[in-house]
Structure 1
Amino acid sequence: MNTTLHATSQVLERHDNLFEQQHLVVAGQLADAYPLQLLEQVASLQICCNHFGHYQYFSEQSHSKLSCQFSAQAQLQENSNALLFFMPKAKQEAAYLFACILPQLQQGAEIFVVGENRGGVKGCEKLLASYGIKLNKIDSARRCSLYFGTLNQTVPAFQLEPWFEHFEVALPAKTLQVKSLPGVFNHGKLDEGSQLLLEQLPAMHGAVLDFGCGAGIIGASQALLYPIQISLLDVSAYAIASTQATLKENAIAGTVIASDGLSEVKQRFDFIVSNPPFHAGIATQYETTETFLAQAKQHLRENGELWIVANSFLQYESLIKQHFSRYETKLDNKKFKILRCCV
């Protein structure tokens, strides 16, 4: 977890007094450890994490006022009377979170929304207007804005199922039924990179790990085609819930792992397949994938293989050479590369 304060948190620091004695809920696209600074002011602090690494970090903090959870469907304490919401880049993810959280807040709860201007924070005004919440901008600095409003009407209870997007992925002689929630990579459709990877993958056997599984497309498709033991891993609570729903929809048995990188993985595999992430919010971020490539070999059995798809501008080959004695480019269409690495 980043302990250097993001621009949004620097704006919030100017308004710490707004949260005094509140039973505060923190949710959305957290970027740093700022919420911990509020422990002296608030009556209680609930942090709703959709990133497993953030959940691990906050869980390690011992404080009587603090509770945190990792879930795609937050469960709040009955006394929750204030929300500090970090606006995600994806508007549909924000809509999903508001629909989940607002019904659980007390009448008259105070709503604070903060976000980057270029990240679309202004979209919160329209989203919350549908709940009768009129927002006022109370600060603007560091290319960020902070809004305030009050919840004065009853909000319908949250229903998870309607938020799933359903779509199909055609496979050789099979069709995979996919379910995905807002906040999942390429929500509601098969992305081009994963499609290319599916077309290049060999026949699978043994134990297979889908790293950064999203809605479970790559791993679940292989489990439909071959008699394998499939594990699917992601850092996102939305991805974990989506993958579980995809497996259930296709009657596939598999192990779903919430993990920040490979930290929660204990076994070795015959294959690791991945369309690894390289974005964090609105920024490009390579650290997760670089760490994954450095550690993947330790989780492969003898003669095991790592298959990844990457945007062509990402120069992963130099890092791969440090850890794998053999690798080859199976496809390069100038937009995407399919790389095969062998132990």
Structure 2
Amino acid sequence: MEPTSEVLLRQAERFQGKVLLAGLPADGLLGELPQALGWSWHAGEQKQLDARYPGRCAFGVTPPEGDFEAAVLFLPKSRELTDYLLAALASRVPNGELYLVGEKRAGVERASKQLAAFGRTGKLDSARHCQLWHTRIGEAPAAPDLHALAQRYELPLADGPLQVVTLPGVFSHGRLDRGSALLLEQLDNLPTGHVLDFGCGAGVIGATLKRRYPASRLTLLDVDAFAIESSRLTLAANGLEGDVIAGDGIDAAPRDLAAIVSNPPFHQGVHTSYQATEQLLREAARHLHAGGELRLVANSFLKYPPLIEQHLGACRTLAEADGFRIYSASRR
């Protein structure tokens, strides 16, 4: 059981009714609270929860319909996303209770000030390096408009400006990160066919690929529901088409690909994890057809070339700048 779940269960009597658990970990919490429902925006955790507790956890960018007696937000990393989630949950608990739980090092005490926008707050518990905060909702506010919170910016590319739409919580919300900027400069001479943007985020790389290679089929894949929605909005803003799918890692990707292009993720909540990228490097060959290419950007200090050469083929460095490198390898 995760420490945040353990803190909740210290106050288990508060959560025995119809409770919505938002951003809950993939542990046994739902089994301890039989009337609770979950809401997840992480495809991997959703898959685990659905396998263990079928039909008890919704996936997406908006909470499940209905009124609840209480709602609990497991603190996410993004402050902007926290604002949206608290407002969305408050709209589902008229005359009910709204809770916030999270790790101290993730800033839960600071985030309690965001909870205070909905009423007088109090700290109920502190244990396992976590805190549990609470307020009571009177008349529920209107559900927030997620799309109204989107940030939009324009990228001046060689073949014309690209419109980018990002939602709260999505990597590099409202701006282009340095790794993606370098990768955008190294998209020439890719094999044509079915192309995957792995860890698509706001869809910058995928939209650029579709415009550069219009005859190629495009799939965009991300683990996060808010990234999936951002990618859909970015494609629509540029009049482009692509298949946007949610999945946890390369195992969720199609097979027989001509190319995989990626600025791969390396954050999981407040923790740093390279597991998804390392799995991509180990398994890319299974998803590429013969001669298919993997092209990605990574921090220069990461020792990826040996892993690429072990599982895929000879690794070339196409560019290096600002602490990043662009690697390329083709399936043997």
Partner deviation per Cα, 1:268-324 (whole Å, 9 max, x = no partner):
211110000111111111111111111111111221110111112222222212202
Q: Report what 2:29 is aligned to.
A: 35
Three-state SS of the structure 2 residue aligned to 1:305 is strand
How far residue 120 of structure 1 moved from its aligned partner, in angstroms, is: 1.3
How far residue 143 of structure 1 moved from its aligned partner, in angstroms, is: 2.2
Q: Could you tell me which amino acid in structure 2 is paired with residue 174 of structure 1?
A: G
CA distance in 2, matches of 1:181, 1:225: 25
Q: Report what 1:51 is aligned to.
A: 42
Partner deviation per Cα, 1:112-134 (whole Å, 9 max, x = no partner):
21111121112333222222x21
Does residue 109 of structure 1 match 2:96?
yes
Q: Report what 2:140 is aligned to.
A: 154
Q: Report what 2:156 is aligned to.
A: 170
Q: Could you tell me which amino acid in structure 2 is paired with residue 47 of structure 1?
A: G
Three-state SS of the structure 1 residue aligned to 2:251 is coil
Q: Could you tell me which amino acid in structure 2 is paired with residue 208 of structure 1?
A: V
How far residue 335 of structure 1 moved from its aligned partner, in angstroms, is: 1.1
How far residue 94 of structure 1 moved from its aligned partner, in angstroms, is: 0.6
Q: Report what 1:89 is aligned to.
A: 77
CA distance in 2, matches of 1:86, 1:154: 20
CA distance in 2, matches of 1:284, 1:142: 20
Q: Alignment RMSD, CA only?
A: 1.7
- The counterpart of 2:20, out of the listed 19, 25, 40, is 25
How far residue 161 of structure 1 moved from its aligned partner, in angstroms, is: 2.0
Q: Could you tell me which amino acid in structure 1 is paired with residue 149 of structure 2?
A: W
Partner deviation per Cα, 1:48-73 (whole Å, 9 max, x = no partner):
1100111111111246xx62111012
Q: Report what 2:242 is aligned to.
A: 254
How far residue 12 of structure 1 moved from its aligned partner, in angstroms, is: 2.4
CA distance in 1, matches of 2:212, 2:225: 26
CA distance in 2, matches of 1:15, 1:103: 23
Q: Could you tell me which amino acid in structure 2 is paired with residue 216 of structure 1?
A: G
Q: Report what 2:197 is aligned to.
A: 210
Identify if the C-alpha distance between structure 1 residues 62 and 93 changes in structure 2 by more than 3 Å, giving closer, same or farther.
closer
Partner deviation per Cα, 1:149-194 (whole Å, 9 max, x = no partner):
2111330232222111111122112111111111111111110000
Does residue 265 of structure 1 match 2:253?
yes
Q: Could you tell me which amino acid in structure 2 is paired with residue 259 of structure 1?
A: G
Displacement over 3 Å in runs of 4+: none
8 Å CA contact retained: 1:213, 1:219:
yes
Q: Report what 1:239 is aligned to.
A: 227
CA distance in 2, matches of 1:322, 1:69: 39
8 Å CA contact retained: 2:149, 2:167:
yes
8 Å CA contact retained: 1:304, 1:342:
yes
Structure-1-length-normalised TM-score: 0.91
Q: Could you tell me which amino acid in structure 2 is paired with residue 110 of structure 1?
A: E
Structure-2-length-normalised TM-score: 0.94
8 Å CA contact retained: 2:152, 2:164:
yes
Q: Report what 2:297 is aligned to.
A: 309
How far residue 34 of structure 1 moved from its aligned partner, in angstroms, is: 3.9
Does residue 128 of structure 1 match 2:124?
no
Three-state SS of the structure 1 residue aligned to 2:52 is coil
Q: Percent identity?
A: 39
Aligned residue pairs, count: 329
Unaligned runs of at least 5 residues, structure 1: none
8 Å CA contact retained: 2:262, 2:295:
yes
Unaligned runs of at least 5 residues, structure 2: none
CA distance in 2, matches of 1:157, 1:112: 17
